[in-house]
Amino acid sequence: MKIVWLDLNSSYAHSSLALPALQAQIADNKSIEWDIVSATINENPGMIAGEIYRRKPDIIAATCWLFNHEILFHVLSRAKALLPDCCIALGGPEFLGENQTFLRRNTFVDCVFRGEGEEVVSQWLTCWNQPDAWKDITGLCYIDAKDDTYHDNGIARVLNFDQLLPPETSPFFNWSKPFVQLETTRGCFNTCAFCVSGGEKPVRTLPLETIRERIILIHQHGIRNIRVLDRTFNYNNRHAKALLSLFQEFPDIRFHLEIHPALLSDELKEELTHMPDNLLHLEAGIQSLREEVLTTSRRMGKLSDALEGLKFLCSLSNMETHADLIAGLPLYRLEEIFEDVRTLASYRAGEIQLESLKLLPGTEMRCRAAELGIKYSPFPPYEVLETREISPEELQTAHLLSRLLDGFYNTPVWQHITRRLIVEQPDFLHRFLEHLIALGVADQPMSQERRGIILYEFCKQSYPSYETAATLAWIEAGMSLKKQPAARIRTKHVTPPDSWNIVYGEYHDHLKLCLLPASENEPLNYWFGFETETQQPRPVFKATSQKKEL
């Protein structure tokens, strides 16, 4: 028997764990020949189908999710036409809901798995060509070709999670990516109505020693970024503290964690405070800063505790914390989203990620969409189109606000000035977004330089007291000193003042010294030193002096 796994990802930077996780459980079955066709959603479907055809498989298997959905079916329908006798089996989050409609519409798919597949796929492979026996495979959904009846075998859960062979032991585990994914728990204690993990009970945890062994193996392969897939890293503070101690044994690895700010114990806060610099990268689930929104979304944890925990996390200088908001949640209004962005900026969140709600198959919120007054796209990515509280036009505004945040706040070189403007000027976000829309660039990709020029010109026109701050950001980003944002800087015949306050770096005669003189209403001159030999665009020296010293 030959299985071809179609590994279809959004880009080559990503790699699914599904194949190695499944194959590891049945690697000792010598009657199965495995092969893989890897591609991205940007490639030609006919070419991908041709690669599958050349392998002549008995079974084609793949994982289906939001962003590979459309191209996956173009590929598989072609492959089935070329190989009518092969069996196509799919799994993934797209099949956590009702599957009969999908199977009747896409007749080239023979069956789909709902839930966790490590145990049930190996069972199915013993009878893959005997559909009469499929009724005993938990989680399998299919249409009986004999009488056209639909069979739904529920949902599969791996209860002995700690007994699974880890995906890293599979020859199909991809070690070529810049990061790997690691589960230390499976399931989620929370009940978020918009999340596919909202009903995944019980939470199952790996022993600490097992996790250590897996990290050692990952480290031996030269991987220096691990994304921990636990839905809520700190659902159990004792387990979280043990993991943080374990992570410190690998100081050259950076661990990415999803953390619930409402559930931080004092003990865990103390542990986080003393973690080595940049060992952790945190994603803090917050979704909304409105109590009624979170209650309707069935998210556990008090908002007051979440805000206190988020303030604490964002105050830590030894790690970066990203915070997320979700437009389109029931009861969440557009103006509240703007206000919540300002609050997160005031907390100094490392990034503010504003996403649109997607009503995923199998989620409670999708089942209750009509009751909650939510209209959403019937096709992936199932984005919310309208709620009782937010119109289609306002959701588009939220999307453009997200683009603004990504282009300016979430971009390190422009973050400081953008944060200042958001926090200090209540109307900045509205006015700047209107400005980007008027320019026709709000939803367009822009270079760093283009963004810097737009921000500078906007400040000069609308917030002149921030013009110098915009120029400073431009200079320290290493942008051209010949462009408009640096028009005031002096680059010729500049000599040091009698005294200055050094901000960073060390001055020496080989540096090219430039001066940004104080404006009429400002007290400070700014001095920058640039390496002339290495031609580094960014200054290596910065100092200030009082205007009177010029």
Among 323, 354, 388, residue at a domain's last position? 388
Residues 46 and 134 in one domain: yes
> What's the burial of 517, exposed, middle or buried (CB within 10 Å: 0-12/13-18/19+)?
middle
Sheet arrangement for strand 33-40? 33-40, 2-9, 59-63, 87-91, 111-113, 140-143, 150-152
Q: 10 Å Cβ neighbour count for 84?
A: 8
Decide if 39 contacts 10 (C-beta within 8 A). no
Residues 462 and 511 in one domain: no
Q: How far apart are CA 276 and CA 280, in angstroms?
A: 8
- Using alpha carbons only, give the angle 534, 539, 545 rounded to the nearest 5 degrees: 140
* CA 510 vs CA 32, 514, 532, 545: distances in Å: 67, 13, 7, 21
Angle (deg, nearest 10), helices 69-82 and 45-55: 50
Residues 148 and 195 in one domain: no
232 within domain boundaries? yes
Decide if 155 contacts 196 (C-beta within 8 A). no
Residues 497 and 481 in one domain: no
Show contacts of 503-507: CB within 8 Å, 24+ apart.
Answer: 503/542, 503/543, 503/544, 504/541, 504/542, 505/529, 505/539, 505/540, 505/541, 505/542, 506/541, 507/541, 507/543
168 within domain boundaries? no
The per-residue DSSP string of 338-389 comes to HHHHHHHHHHT-SEEEEEE-B--TT-HHHHTHHHHT-EE-SSTT-BEEE-SS
Q: How far apart are CA 20 and CA 251, in angstroms?
A: 27
Residues 375 and 316 in one domain: yes
Give the per-residue SS3 of 429-444: HHHHHHHHHHHCCCCC
The CATH number of the domain holding residue 102 is 3.40.50.280
Residues 142 and 186 in one domain: no
- Cα diameter, the chain: 94
Q: What was the pLDDT predicted at 355?
A: 96
405 within domain boundaries? no
Q: What was the pLDDT predicted at 86?
A: 97
Residues 262 and 362 in one domain: yes
Q: What was the pLDDT predicted at 12?
A: 62
Q: How far apart are CA 210 and CA 137, in angstroms?
A: 29
Residue 351, strand partner residues: 322
Q: Which residues in 8-30 are b (16+ Cβ under 10 Å) and which e? A: bbeeeeebbbbbbbbbbbbbeee
The CATH number of the domain holding residue 265 is 3.80.30.20
Three-state secondary structure call for residue 82: helix
The count of residues in the chain is: 550
Query: Which residue type, as a one-letter code, is found at position 53?
Result: Y
Among 456, 472, 487, residue at a domain's last position? 487
Could you list the beta-strand ranges (E) of 146-296. 150-152, 180-182, 185-186, 204-205, 225-228, 254-259, 280-287
Q: How far apart are CA 44 and CA 40, in angstroms?
A: 9
Residues 146 and 249 in one domain: no
For the chain, how many structural domains are there in total? 4
Place of tokens 């699914």: 16
Mean pLDDT by 10 residues, the chain (550 residues): 92 77 91 93 95 97 92 96 97 94 96 95 95 96 95 94 94 90 88 78 89 96 94 88 96 95 93 96 93 91 92 96 96 98 97 96 93 94 96 98 98 97 98 98 96 97 96 96 95 92 94 92 93 88 82
Query: Which residue type, as a one-letter code, is found at position 467?
Result: E
* CA 423 vs CA 308, 342, 479: distances in Å: 18, 6, 25
99 within domain boundaries? yes
361 within domain boundaries? yes
Residues 250 and 121 in one domain: no
Residues 340 and 478 in one domain: no
In terms of residue numbers, what domain contains 460? 411-487
Q: 10 Å Cβ neighbour count for 172?
A: 19
DSSP-derived letter for residue 408 is I
* CA 520 vs CA 325, 420, 471, 483, 548: distances in Å: 41, 21, 15, 22, 12
Backbone phi and psi for residue 264, each to the nearest 5 degrees, phi listed first: -80, 115
Residues 245 and 142 in one domain: no
Backbone phi and psi for residue 320, each to the nearest 5 degrees, phi listed first: -105, 135
